Amino acid sequence: MRSFPLFTISLLIFSTCNLLHAQESHVIIDKAVYYDGYAKKVNDTLPSGLLRLSNYQITTKLSQATLESVFDDITIKVTINALCDNYDRMGNVNLALVPKGKSGYHPDSVQHIEVGRFITPFMNKNKDPKFVEYIFRADNIAKLLRMNALKAQYDFWLELEIFGVPYAANEQVKGCSGRNDVFEGKVEFISTKVLMIVEENTVFQPIAFKHMLNNYEAVKTDTLGKTVKTFEFNVPSETSNAIFYLITSNHGANENGEEYIRREHFVYIDNKEVLKYIPGGKSCEPYRIFNTQGNGIYGRNPEPDSSWASWNNWCPGDTISVREITIRNLSAGKHTFTISVPDAQFAEKQGYFPVSVYLQGTAQPPKKKRKSSKKRA
């Protein structure tokens, strides 16, 4: 993996007043078809401006018109249409920093951050509703897209990634026999506010992108047998309002798999605990309507909240939380970000916790050295 520089940027944004602007919507990706993630790459014809990186990754360069229309707030709406995968799968919206002027890129050669994560429902393409929508608030991304220093070196590309397989649907869903198309996706940016007059120095640092944390592979954990991973990063100047944007989810659908067991997660900055959380715990009943294929998650009758809270880490048809960890002040220099799930078991050495995290904050000006008041003898 290539190494990338840190960015400390002076950003001046102009506006006339703090008024609401008519809502603007920009379709970034549309009619993007995804295929069997395990199969040979399909060379299909995509809509203009889209590039297929793999059967499960489609990307596009954000246009100048889109960048000029980014205001202080961004809502990202992802729409997934059912094709021939009737199981729950993980999807991601990623922002890629690609060297200026490139017509394409290999996904392993550029830096990414994960903006949002979601889980598809169990969908039968012959039953309504045939699609599901996911909403992500991503106001902080607006700052990244307006960074002049970043824009001078990189183009911003947006990826929509959905790994699916059609094997069950080939047998269970009418009209899917012999097909390998699994989902169709769309991404929209929605923004409503005019720009504010703001001047700030912004620090931006990617730290980890979908690192598949487990306890049985040496490269995925700090210590075999323990579910813990430490990432090192560097901060070029003293930073205030440092926010770490963290996404994790539990996977492993085998018997006693981590997908069905709620575990305590611990986050440490420089070995100091800054967050403890247990994913999931919410009711999945609001998403039942989207799960039109019979499955082992939803039974025939609604379940009480207590039943869902006893085991679920996420809901098919829902987004995964983006957790914000705020550190009031972060000193310049090297730091560590550690995530630990000490009780994780990974039965039969299956399962993983994808971890994505990046840092945004405000750089403070260097402190002036005080002049010595001592007089020469």
pLDDT in tens, 141-171: 988 888 888 888 999 999 999 999 999 999 9
Cα–Cα nearest to 274, from 244, 249, 238:
244
Give the confidence band of 65 by pLDDT, cuts at 50, 70, 90: confident
Report yes or no: 62 and 22 within 8 Å, Cβ to Cβ.
no
SS3 assignment, position 118: strand
Reported confidence tier of residue 18, pLDDT bands at 50, 70, 90: very low
Strand segments, DSSP code E, in 163-238 are: 181-193, 198-213, 228-235
Contact (CB, 8 A) for 218 and 224: yes
User: Which domains does the chain carry?
Assistant: 7-294+303-363 (2.60.120.230)
Asked if residue 74 lies in contact with residue 138, where contact means CB atoms within 8 angstroms, the answer is yes
pLDDT at 54: 98
Interval 112-137 mean pLDDT:
98
How far apart are the C-alpha atoms of 282 and 287, rounded to whole Å?
11
What mean pLDDT comes out for the span 318-341?
97
At 256 the pLDDT is 93
pLDDT class of 68 with cuts at 50, 70, 90: confident
Confidence of residue 368 (pLDDT cuts 50, 70, 90): low
Going along the chain, which residue ranges are E strands? 7-13, 20-35, 51-54, 57-61, 75-82, 90-99, 111-119, 131-137, 154-162, 181-193, 198-213, 228-235, 239-248, 265-269, 272-277, 319-320, 323-330, 333-340, 353-363
Residue 214 pLDDT: 98
Residue 24 to residue 192: CA distance in whole angstroms:
6
> Position 170: which residue type?
N
Q: What percent of the chain has pLDDT over 70?
A: 89
| Residue 11: pLDDT over 80 | no
Per-residue pLDDT reduced to its tens digit, 177-201: 999 999 999 999 998 876 664 555 7
